[in-house]
Structure 1
Amino acid sequence: MAPNPDIMRAIAQLDYRVTAGDVAAKTGMELQTAEQGLLALAADVGGHMQVSDEGELAYAFPRGMQGILQSKYFRLRLQEWWNKVWGVLFYIIRISFGIVLIASIVLILLTIVAIFIAINSQSRDNNRGGGFGGNMGGNRIFVPTFWIGPNWFYAFQPPSQRRYYRQTQTRFGEEPKMSFLEAIFSFLFGDGNPNADLEERRWQTVATVIRNNGGTVVAEQIAPYLDDLGGSTSQELEDYMLPVLTRFNGRPEVSPEGHLVYRFPELQVMAKEHGARSVAAYLKELPWRFSEASSGQLMGAIALGAVNFVGALALGSLLRDAAIAELGGLVGFTSGIFGFLLAYAVAFLGVPLARYFWVQWRNQKVEVRNEQRQERAVALNQADDELQKKLTFASEFATRTLVTEKDLAYTTERDLTEQEIEQKDKIDEEWQKRLEGL
Structure 2
Amino acid sequence: MATQTAVMEAVTALNYRVTIGDVAAKSGLELNTVQRELATLAAEAGGHLQVAESGEVVYQFPTNFEAILRNRSWRLQMQARLQKLWQIIFYLIRLSFGIALVVSIIIIFTAIIILVLAQQSQEGEERERRSGGDLFALWQLQRYTYLLADWSLFFDPIDYDRRPHKRRSQAQAEAGKLNFLEAVYSFLFGDGNPNADLEERRWQMIATTISNHKGGVVAEQIAPYLDDLGSPSDQEYETYMLPVLARFDGRPQVSPEGGLVYHFPSLQVRAKQARSQRVSDYLREHRWPFTQATPGQAMGVIILAAVNLGGALILGGLLQTNPADLQGFVGFVQSIYWLLLGYGVGVVVVPLVRYFWLQLRNRRVEARNWQRSQRTLALRSPSPALERKLRYAQQFATEVVISDRDIIYATDRDLLEQEAERLEIEAKTNSPADTDS
TM-score when scaled to structure 2?
Answer: 0.91
2:344 is matched with which residue? 345
Instruction: Give distance in 1, aligned partners of 2:165 and 2:217.
Output: 50
Structure 2 residue runs without a partner (length 5+)? none
Determine if the alignment matches structure 1 residue 248 to structure 2 residue 244: no
Cα-to-partner distance string for 1:169-194 (whole Å, 9 max, x where unaligned): 71665432310011000000011111
Task: Tell me whether 192-201 or 356-365 shows the greater mean CA deviation.
Answer: 192-201
Instruction: Give distance in 2, aligned partners of 1:235 and 1:437.
Output: 61
Instruction: Give distance in 2, aligned partners of 1:164 and 1:126.
Output: 46
1:196 is matched with which residue? 196
1:133 is matched with which residue? none
2:408 is matched with which residue? 409
1:167 is matched with which residue? 163
2:398 is matched with which residue? 399
Contact preservation (8 Å) 1:3, 1:41: no
Instruction: Give distance in 2, aligned partners of 1:88 and 1:348.
Output: 24
Shift, 1:140, TM fit: 5.6
Contact preservation (8 Å) 2:25, 2:267: yes
**Structure-2 change in CA distance of 1:77 and 1:154 (3 Å):** farther
1:327 is matched with which residue? 326
Q: How many residues align?
A: 424
2:182 is matched with which residue? 182
Cα-to-partner distance string for 1:325-357 (whole Å, 9 max, x where unaligned): 321111100000011100000000100000001
- In structure 2, the residue corresponding to 1:150 is in which secondary structure? helix
- In structure 2, the residue corresponding to 1:63 is in which secondary structure? coil
2:152 is matched with which residue? 150
More helix, by proportion: 2
Contact preservation (8 Å) 2:48, 2:60: yes
Instruction: Give distance in 2, aligned partners of 1:55 and 1:208.
Output: 24
- 1:35-54 aligned at under 5 Å gives the runs 35-54=35-54
Shift, 1:432, TM fit: 3.9
Aligned-residue CA RMSD (Å): 2.4
Instruction: Give distance in 2, aligned partners of 1:250 and 1:372.
Output: 25
Alignment-mate amino acid for residue 150 of structure 1: S
Instruction: Give distance in 1, aligned partners of 2:406 and 2:396.
Output: 23
Shift, 1:14, TM fit: 0.9
Contact preservation (8 Å) 2:48, 2:410: yes
- In structure 2, the residue corresponding to 1:253 is in which secondary structure? strand
Shift, 1:70, TM fit: 1.8
Alignment-mate amino acid for residue 70 of structure 2: Q
Task: Tell me whether 411-420 or 237-246 shows the greater mean CA deviation.
Answer: 411-420
**Structure-2 change in CA distance of 1:392 and 1:412 (3 Å):** same
1:354 is matched with which residue? 353
**Structure-2 change in CA distance of 1:139 and 1:415 (3 Å):** closer
1:364 is matched with which residue? 363
Determine if the alignment matches structure 1 residue 76 to structure 2 residue 76: yes
Instruction: Give distance in 2, aligned partners of 1:179 and 1:216.
Output: 50
Identity %: 48
Shift, 1:430, TM fit: 3.9
Shift, 1:320, TM fit: 1.6
Shift, 1:30, TM fit: 0.7
Contact preservation (8 Å) 1:45, 1:68: yes
- 1:422-433 aligned at under 5 Å gives the runs 422-433=421-432
Instruction: Give distance in 2, aligned partners of 1:150 and 1:408.
Output: 67
Instruction: Give distance in 1, aligned partners of 2:165 and 2:295.
Output: 10
2:62 is matched with which residue? 62
Shift, 1:419, TM fit: 2.2
2:4 is matched with which residue? 4
- In structure 1, the residue corresponding to 2:434 is in which secondary structure? helix
- 1:224-373 aligned at under 5 Å gives the runs 224-321=224-321, 323=323, 325-373=324-372
1:16 is matched with which residue? 16
Determine if the alignment matches structure 1 residue 219 to structure 2 residue 229: no
Shift, 1:425, TM fit: 3.9
Instruction: Give distance in 2, aligned partners of 1:312 and 1:163.
Output: 29
Cα-to-partner distance string for 1:25-71 (whole Å, 9 max, x where unaligned): 11111111111110000000111111111111110001111221121
Instruction: Give distance in 2, aligned partners of 1:307 and 1:424.
Output: 87
- In structure 2, the residue corresponding to 1:281 is in which secondary structure? coil
Instruction: Give distance in 2, aligned partners of 1:118 and 1:374.
Output: 68
2:208 is matched with which residue? 208
Shift, 1:84, TM fit: 2.0
2:383 is matched with which residue? 384
Cα-to-partner distance string for 1:279-332 (whole Å, 9 max, x where unaligned): 111111111110011000000000000000000000011112351x32111110
Instruction: Give distance in 1, aligned partners of 2:164 and 2:313.
Output: 31
- In structure 2, the residue corresponding to 1:396 is in which secondary structure? helix
2:26 is matched with which residue? 26
2:106 is matched with which residue? 106
Instruction: Give distance in 2, aligned partners of 1:59 and 1:332.
Output: 72
- 1:109-120 aligned at under 5 Å gives the runs 109-120=109-120
Alignment-mate amino acid for residue 17 of structure 1: R
- In structure 1, the residue corresponding to 2:195 is in which secondary structure? coil
**Structure-2 change in CA distance of 1:151 and 1:24 (3 Å):** farther
Shift, 1:422, TM fit: 3.1
Instruction: Give distance in 2, aligned partners of 1:178 and 1:88.
Output: 15
Task: Tell me whether 68-77 or 406-415 shows the greater mean CA deviation.
Answer: 68-77
Instruction: Give distance in 2, aligned partners of 1:166 and 1:126.
Output: 49
Shift, 1:380, TM fit: 1.4
Structure 1 residue runs without a partner (length 5+)? 128-136, 156-161
Instruction: Give distance in 1, aligned partners of 2:153 and 2:269.
Output: 59
Instruction: Give distance in 1, aligned partners of 2:333 and 2:96.
Output: 20
Contact preservation (8 Å) 1:253, 1:261: yes
